[in-house]
Structure 1
């Protein structure tokens, strides 16, 4: 089950600015965590939990259902493309030293985050009109379902393809390409540095800089692998459905329906892993988590102590 507490914890701790990260990196990580949190809130909490356990509430009206779909699509796009923006920022910082001082700044990060979020929020507005009411009762429209026109119209088909090309096909390519270039640069720099340090010395020396670069390679590979692995099932399902035009499922036992649900689950799971991969590996972040846990334990102990008096 998706756990929004991971993203809330990341947002709170990163916002304190005590993890030893630059403000530029902190802005990206916080924005990514917020985007992932909105994905979980909109799809898991507002749609699935409310739909199955609180039927008949105002959130089940067609207007709210459509709005939740738009919020989910926009937050998903923003979270994915903010990951691309952060990957590009790290590529510039590691591989383009001349551009680093101009691009890798907190002002640039704020502008990039604002542009990405604004652009994809507008881009997802058509999803509101792609859904219609599932049924009506006493002149009130309830729930929402993709309209028949969405499956037959060429315009909607083009929009659906554009949506999946932008998320996640292009991010797949960008993240993979940038990480390959970054890892290649790190390996070359580490090889040169190791050669200079070992020159004239028969003993192996521990180099903290090389160790940090190796950790960077591991982190980048984990990021790419996690993102692609968790999105692959849903992407394959989308391509199969669009090519074969198998838009409807016969029953809940339909293998295609099971693939769809598995793909959606893995896709949502990626909203919980981004913050963990980027942040939890940082020692200072772990220390802040421990401090937060100690603080909460002290508050709980004091509360219990006061109750006993």
Structure 2
């Protein structure tokens, strides 16, 4: 979760109505402080992101190509294909963000891109938890109301919901283009100072909903799904019916949604504590900062927040690898795509037939 495109852009106790050169100098001093006192954290963050880009680009692209294939394009597959494309788009935008903020490359101080980057960057972030909420809700309906799943859990309905969620995210983030503007004098992408309070309120509210409320809703639904699975097993035992394991689809989607919760909630908590650990005053000598308790607390918090945020980014990277571990059919289709196993298609069909004879009254018709 990112609360702003360019962090620490205007930290200054005496903010005026217009952008001033002195405020930019304050930012430069703060950046120097981080470079001096947190060199390992900053350098490791750069290279950790490079590793995530390598695995994330390839993984999300392969996942998208696989989920849009006919055998995999059931209702859950529609959500997962959209999620893969959204995560891939986020990682591409995050590369620009990393180049600008961590590598010192002037990648975003460009007219038009300045105003549109935050819109697209936050939209891809908001879409990810919303899509996870979407397929988690569908999975709950499929397990709680199995007879209605054939009505509500269809590819056509899933595509409609995916489009709606994408436009919802874009609508919530569209106003960000008004809050940011390119200053031709400073040649910087800056926030509108006169709209700072509105920006803070809007961004804080929407991000708390997306990265705190939505994950909590997903967690509650997961608990309900697990509860329904246990009830189904008890009923099966009481009726002395053959007990089959939970479908691969349900298991896989539970893992994906739980992983999003585990990686998103700590980031939300870290950003919620942002105002509790503000930076101290800029001293005449940077060495004096080490003796300032306010700065020491802020640097400790900033280091922890950076680590937590980088861990949180993994949910944009790891879904493909979760699919590989959780689904035999997904692994077989990956091998088919990579042309590593000629007989994998026949084995996949046999496996799919065996899955379809499972207790349909207790699980979705989306089986792997």
Q: Deviations over 1:247-291 (max 9, x none)?
A: 789789822322332233123211112343356521111011122
Task: Tell me what 1:241 maps to.
Answer: 274
* From 63, 66, 83, the counterpart of 2:115: 66
Give SS of 2:70's match.
Answer: coil
Counterparts of 1:1-309 in structure 2, within 5 Å, are 1-2=51-52, 3-18=56-71, 21=72, 23-43=74-94, 45-49=95-99, 55-56=105-106, 59-133=108-182, 136=184, 141-142=187-188, 144-149=189-194, 153=197, 155-197=198-240, 207=242, 210-212=244-246, 219=252, 222-242=255-275, 244=276, 246=278, 254-278=299-323, 280-294=325-339
Displacement of 1:292: 2.5
User: How many angstroms apart in 2 are the aligned matches of 1:149 and 1:236?
Assistant: 28
User: How many angstroms apart in 2 are the aligned matches of 1:225 and 1:101?
Assistant: 25
User: Does structure 2 conserve the Cα–Cα contact (< 8 Å) formed by 1:70 and 1:125?
Assistant: yes
Displacement of 1:33: 0.7
When the two structures are aligned, how many residues end up with a matched partner?
A: 276
User: Does structure 2 conserve the Cα–Cα contact (< 8 Å) formed by 1:32 and 1:82?
Assistant: yes
Give SS of 1:210's match.
Answer: coil
Give SS of 1:212's match.
Answer: coil
Give the gaps of 5 or more residues in structure 2: 1-50, 283-294, 342-368
Give me the TM-score of the superposition, normalised by structure 1. 0.77
Range 101-110 or range 263-272, more displaced: 263-272
Range 227-236 or range 124-133, more displaced: 124-133
Displacement of 1:182: 1.2
User: How many angstroms apart in 2 are the aligned matches of 1:224 and 1:238?
Assistant: 21
Give me the TM-score of the superposition, normalised by structure 2. 0.66
Task: Tell me what 1:203 maps to.
Answer: none
Displacement of 1:190: 1.0
User: How many angstroms apart in 2 are the aligned matches of 1:157 and 1:66?
Assistant: 17
User: Does structure 2 conserve the Cα–Cα contact (< 8 Å) formed by 1:51 and 1:60?
Assistant: no
Displacement of 1:147: 4.9
Give the gaps of 5 or more residues in structure 1: 199-206, 297-309
Displacement of 1:219: 4.1
* CA separation of 1:127 and 1:246: change in aligned 2, threshold 3 A: farther
Over aligned residue pairs, what C-alpha RMSD do you find? 3.2
User: How many angstroms apart in 1 are the aligned matches of 2:58 and 2:124?
Assistant: 17
Whose helix fraction is larger, Structure 1's or Structure 2's? Answer: 1
* CA separation of 1:271 and 1:147: change in aligned 2, threshold 3 A: same
Displacement of 1:87: 0.6
User: How many angstroms apart in 2 are the aligned matches of 1:95 and 1:75?
Assistant: 30
Displacement of 1:92: 0.8
